[in-house]
Amino acid sequence: MDTIYCVPEIGIMLEVDSMEYESVIGLEIHSELSTKTKIFCGCTTEFGGDVNTHCCPICSGMPGTLPVMNEKVVEYAVKAGLAMNCEISLFSKQDRKNYFYPDLPKAYQISQYDLPICKNGYLDITVNNEVKRIGITRIHVEEDAGKLLHNAWGNGTLVDMNRCGVPLIEIVTEPDMRSAEEAKALLEKIRTILRYIDVSDCKMQEGSLRCDVNVSVMPKGSTEFGTRTEMKNISSFSATERAINTEIARQINVVSEGGTISQETRRWDDEKGESFVMRTKEDAQDYRYFPEPDLAPIVLTEEYVENIRKNLPELPDKKHARYLSEYGLSEYDTTLLVQTKELAKFFEEAVSYGALPKAASNWILGDISKVLNERGITIEEIEITPKQLAELIGEISNGKISNTAGKTVFEEMLLNTGKSVAEIIEEKGLAQVSDEGAILEMVKKVLSENAESIEAYKKGKTNVVGFLVGKVMKESQGKANPKIINQLIVEELNK
């Protein structure tokens, strides 16, 4: 397969025989934990706020201050580790990662080095209908840095320390992915899980989920990985895919021309669609990691870990399998329903109120999702409740109202009038006519006006039945039960 990629450095479209090369991808994912307070002090973690108003002497790095570990951070990290099938370390510790940058007032970041809190996990992703297992090397806890505001005031750069000390987990994967698609699938899986377990809101745009991608290429079939580059500053899921594909193309171009890849950190510019060298890659020793002397190690008991494991909600993979077997939904619908826990919850509640699963799924993925997209709201904000949806589905399936009338009821419920499904049906006169006597009257009337259709039917043109059903339906102003109309017309025609 010849793929054409744009290689911006040389400003031309270059045809690359990607068949000859295989790409290798590993991710480092940072996720801000949604604890109320920061990792080592009591300041709020809230996003936004006036610059430098969410900080204190501890998180702004004043000398002599002492950090205290926020227990919730440990709990959330353990939760994330268990949800990603990791081993939880009963003994882990914090380390100082030393580097100078203006957004890091202490000139070291408190992180974890050789003893992360979680390790050796995995997650399964599905790409092109194939399930693939991706190793999770480790998950560690660390503090976030502040933000630099360039040219916000006059001609310089200012530091906003509101984000300093916001707790992060860093999830490091094995270099197990072979395409941008797989990397994106894993990132999405991780977001879904972190949201299910309520430890992060994972908004890439607000930076509460950030992803650095490590990419290398090697000749197809090789067992030795090529030199990797690391790319930073990727701020959306689609940008992840673009950044990886562009980097793969760049590297293939370099090596196929006989060049070598240097281990470096690059900065992705999504608008330009290209990446730029930030720095040649530092090794771990450059950070002069050493144990954080101001914090006690994190010592956990089996009981503590098991207690968190017991309280984990049903996770997306398990839910997926259950929806397929228990509700007989399609693979496609199931994938959409379990993608967010709110959608899944709404669905399950509707079913618990007696809604037919297939119908509930259709309403949620159809009309309801349409409203959510149009209004940019979540399913928790929509006016209709799972119980009302179940009632609506019940009235359609028991023949009280038609599908079309169902849509009218749905629209009415969105107006938040507080009326029940039954009240709306009553008030709008939407009840379907199932009274055979009344429908027979209408059938007879329509047949008397359409003698030629009767002739046609007698000659074997049975498709006139559909036409006649339509006529009767119109006669009843859409309220007659179509099943009964159909049955009565056939009976009359066969007389």
Interaction site with ligand ADP (CB under 6 A) = 24-28, 172-175, 214-216, 225, 228, 284
Give min distance, CB of 39 to Zn ion, in A.
Answer: 9
Residue with tokens 């959510």: 372
Give min distance, CB of 296 to Zn ion, in A.
Answer: 19
359 interface partner picked from Zn ion, ligand ADP, none, CB below 5 to 8 A per type: none
345 vs 310, 338, 341, 348, 364, CA distance in Å?
Answer: 19, 9, 6, 5, 11
The residue among 238, 123, 248 whose CA lies nearest residue 176 is: 123
Cα angle 459, 464, 467 (rounded to 5 degrees) comes to 165
Query: Which residue, 109 or 216, is less far from ligand ADP as judged by CB?
Result: 216
Query: Which residue, 10 or 68, is less far from Zn ion as judged by CB?
Result: 68
Give min distance, CB of 37 to Zn ion, in A.
Answer: 8
CA-based torsion, 451, 454, 459, 465: positive or negative: positive
Give min distance, CB of 94 to Zn ion, in A.
Answer: 17
Tokens of 260: 């070598």
Query: Which residue, 4 or 284, is less far from ligand ADP as judged by CB?
Result: 284
329 interface partner picked from ligand ADP, Zn ion, none, CB below 5 to 8 A per type: none
Parallel, antiparallel, or unpaired: how do β-strands 118-127 and 130-143 relate? antiparallel
The residue ranges that bind Zn ion (CB under 5 A) are 41, 43, 56, 58-59
315 interface partner picked from Zn ion, ligand ADP, none, CB below 5 to 8 A per type: none
225 interface partner picked from ligand ADP, Zn ion, none, CB below 5 to 8 A per type: ligand ADP
173 interface partner picked from Zn ion, ligand ADP, none, CB below 5 to 8 A per type: ligand ADP
Parallel, antiparallel, or unpaired: how do β-strands 167-173 and 274-280 relate? unpaired
Query: Which residue, 277 or 321, is less far from ligand ADP as judged by CB?
Result: 277
Tokens of 166: 């916001």
Query: Which residue, 214 or 453, is less far from ligand ADP as judged by CB?
Result: 214
Chain residue whose CB lies nearest ligand ADP: 26
List beta partners, residue 31: 169, 209
Query: Which residue, 32 or 176, is less far from ligand ADP as judged by CB?
Result: 176
Q: Do residues 89 and 121 lie in contact, with contact meaning Cβ atoms separated by under 8 Å?
A: no
216 vs 5, 184, 265, CA distance in Å?
Answer: 16, 16, 12
Give min distance, CB of 271 to Zn ion, in A.
Answer: 34
Give min distance, CB of 122 to ligand ADP, in A.
Answer: 13
List beta partners, residue 169: 31, 141
Secondary structure of residue 187 in the 3-state scheme: helix
Give min distance, CB of 150 to Zn ion, in A.
Answer: 24
